[in-house]
Amino acid sequence: MSIKLAIIYYSSTGTNYQLAQWAAEGAKEAGAEAKIVKVPELAPEAAIASNPAWKAHVDATKDVPTATTDDIVWADAIIFSTPTRFGNIASQMKQFLDLTGGVWFQGKTVDKVVSAMTSAQNSHGGQEATILALYTSMYHWGAIIASPGYTDSALYAAGGNPYGTSVSVDQNGKMIEDVRQAVIHQAKRTVTVAGWVKNGKQA
């Protein structure tokens, strides 16, 4: 039974977009149908234009589909990826979640299997708090959290965040930890748990 995974991300300069791509790779290896969608940008054009890396990433991803609540309804599982903003999720991701009230009210968020990833400029820059903040909204959804925990050795190489893969990014925008395998494992685990839920509900 194929699992449908939506990877919903926000990225200003590309880190979380790369995490999303690795997640899609892992999901497809696990036999899932995966699609990557980005939440709408809220920052003014002047702010984006003032940062060459930000402007370059916006231009490079202009063809990535924009996330809607239809993606939530479609998916059996969802992986969110968002940078840390003062220990919380980016406002762009928060607005997207705030607009899911309609599908939540209709019960269409119930039993979605969810996992999350994040990034920040240093290893204690709020990564764990960001993922936990996102999971708080998921409890309201009635979603099922599929955290990676310490279920694979790749988690240790990635820094050992049990709540979801997180990565530190240096001043040049380069990832410090090697997180690719941890992201792939997290995606596979999310797909696996979603399979258990989907099979169990149809049994």
CATH code for position 61: 3.40.50.360
Within its chain, how far is the Cα of 203 from the centroid? 29
The domain tally of the chain equals 1
Domain membership of residue 84 as a residue range: 4-202
- Contact partners, residue 168, CB within 8 Å, separation at least 6: 119, 120, 121, 122, 123, 125, 159, 175, 176, 177
pLDDT value for 137: 97
> In the predicted model, what is the mean pLDDT of the chain?
96
pLDDT value for 50: 95
Tokens (6 digits) for 125 = 């820059």
Tokens (6 digits) for 14 = 């590309």
Residues above pLDDT 90, as percent of the chain:
93
- Rounded to whole angstroms, the Cα distance separating 113 from 65 reads 22
Taking 70 as the threshold, does the pLDDT of residue 203 lie above it?
no
- Contact partners, residue 150, CB within 8 Å, separation at least 6: 156, 160, 162
Taking 80 as the threshold, does the pLDDT of residue 15 lie above it?
yes
pLDDT value for 122: 87
- Contact partners, residue 147, CB within 8 Å, separation at least 6: 115, 162, 163, 164
Tokens (6 digits) for 183 = 């992201």
The predicted model gives 140-146 an average pLDDT of 98
Taking 90 as the threshold, does the pLDDT of residue 172 lie above it?
no
The enclosing H or E element of 33 equals strand 33-38
The predicted model gives 85-97 an average pLDDT of 97
* AA letter at 110: V
pLDDT value for 98: 97
pTM (global) more than 0.85: yes
The crossing angle, in degrees rounded to 10, of helices 180-202 and 15-29 is 50
